[in-house]
């Protein structure tokens, strides 16, 4: 059987490889296998989870919804403790809540790593420890490895940091050092393809907001590299992606912004305008999710609104439904392409 070559294929193309008897998707640089059990080959197979966050205090709740449908979120279970400002990531089977802020003291961040099985419901179980006690960072992932970057670190008395750490999602072992970002930054957001992780940096040393975008190759440890610039200087944005395109929703520029940026993950360069949020609702920590076709942002600034777009188009968000309660600083993950 003939199928598109590397010379003629466009990012997002799907083929069947007769040599390996496997479906593959092209990310702009290479073909990546799609498992027969993955959400890319199943209708309505992508589930989004939101871990914790806060109303007036940190929460231990886990909520979920079907990314490819519309409607309100439902209760999934509970984390092992109440926390906010954490990170989350997923393989195609498991989702992980990483670190976060426990409340009370400004330096009370944790390195707890909770795990759930995405297709079921129930309380999280302890998996391991992240490398550092961190919150307000971004997480990116392949189908096997999770990487977090930046944030606020208890070990530096609550100061912002430039650390990049990782853990292997299939192995119950503690996290390790990966490399460094170019600056210390909190309020970072992220997205990823199966091979490349993107960090939209938030601020520089906890003060001046920046529009810097960096990237890492998820399978290779080392420092991040420059990717380009966002259209706005904001922190506490919300990122999501499919295997080809990354989106960054809203954030705080001094006040809430409703701007949505997009990038082609395989191609270095500045972000472009995608459209607008229904309202500037991602001020202070909305949460991003995705399937292969749809990007979703939930909450932010204490509201319960869930909004969505079609990732490979451009335009404004559409109403999806509501969270079980107003939320901000929650951590989101989905099994859309084995990583978020």
d(CA 126, CA 118) in angstroms, rounded, equals 15
Strand order of the sheet with strand 163-168?
Answer: 138-141, 145-149, 163-168, 176-180
β-strand partners of 77: 62
3-state DSSP of 303-319: CCEEEEEECCCCCCCEE
Q: What is the mean pLDDT of each run of 10 residues along the chain (340 residues)?
A: 54 64 63 50 68 91 96 97 94 94 85 96 97 95 95 80 96 97 95 96 88 97 98 94 95 90 98 90 73 92 92 96 92 72
Report the C-alpha gap between 282 and 1 in whole angstroms. Answer: 47
119 DSSP assignment: T
DSSP 213-254: EEEEETTS-S--EEEEE-SS--BS-EEEE-SSEEEEEEEESS
10 Å CB burial of residue 65 (0-12, 13-18, 19+) is buried
For 223, residues 6+ apart whose C-beta sits below 8 A from its C-beta are: 164, 179, 180, 181, 182
Q: How far is CA 92 from CA 56, 69, 226, 332, in A?
A: 33, 18, 29, 14
Helix (H, G, I), strand (E, B) or coil at 154: helix
Number of Cβ within a 10 Å radius of residue 173: 12
Q: What is the pLDDT of residue 44?
A: 38
The predicted structure's pLDDT at residue 133: 94
Domains of the chain: 1-34 (no CATH), 44-334 (2.120.10.80)
**pTM for this entry:** 0.86
| Distance in angstroms (rounded) separating the CA atoms of residues 168 and 230 | 30
> Cα separation of 332 and 140, whole Å?
11
Q: For residue 289, give the 3-state DSSP assignment.
A: strand
């Amino acid at each position: 059987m003939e199928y598109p070559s590397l010379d003629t294929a466009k990012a997002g193309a799907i083929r069947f490889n007769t040599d390996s008897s496997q479906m593959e998707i092209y990310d702009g640089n290479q073909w990546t296998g799609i498992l027969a059990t993955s959400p890319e080959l199943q209708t309505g197979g992508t589930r989004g989870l939101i871990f914790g966050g806060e109303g007036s205090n940190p929460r231990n709740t886990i909520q979920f919804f079907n990314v490819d449908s519309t409607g309100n979120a439902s209760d999934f279970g509970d984390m092992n403790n109440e926390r906010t400002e954490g990170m989350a990531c997923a393989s195609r089977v498991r989702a992980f809540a990483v670190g976060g802020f426990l409340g009370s003291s400004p330096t009370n961040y944790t390195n707890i790593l909770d795990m759930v099985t995405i297709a079921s419901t129930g309380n999280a179980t302890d998996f391991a420890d992240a490398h550092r006690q961190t919150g307000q960072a971004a997480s990116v992932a392949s189908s096997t490895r999770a990487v977090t970057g930046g944030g606020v670190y208890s070990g530096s008395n609550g100061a912002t940091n430039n650390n990049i750490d990782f853990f292997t999602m299939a192995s119950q072992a503690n996290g390790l050092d990966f490399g460094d970002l170019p600056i210390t930054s909190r309020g970072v957001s992220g997205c990823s393809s199966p091979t490349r992780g993107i960090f939209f940096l938030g601020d520089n040393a906890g003060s001046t907001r920046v529009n810097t975008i960096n990237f890492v190759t998820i399978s290779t440890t080392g420092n991040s590299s420059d990717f380009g610039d966002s259209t706005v200087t904001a922190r506490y944005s919300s990122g999501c992606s499919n295997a080809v395109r990354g989106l960054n929703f809203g954030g705080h520029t001094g006040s809430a912004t409703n701007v949505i940026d997009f990038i082609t993950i395989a191609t270095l360069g500045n972000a472009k305008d995608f459209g607008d949020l229904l309202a500037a609702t991602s001020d202070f920590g909305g949460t991003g999710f995705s399937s292969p076709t749809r990007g979703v942002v939930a909450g932010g600034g204490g509201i319960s609104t869930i909004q969505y777009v079609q990732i490979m188009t451009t335009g404004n968000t559409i109403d999806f439904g509501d969270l079980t309660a107003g939320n901000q600083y929650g951590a989101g993950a989905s099994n859309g392409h084995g990583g978020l």
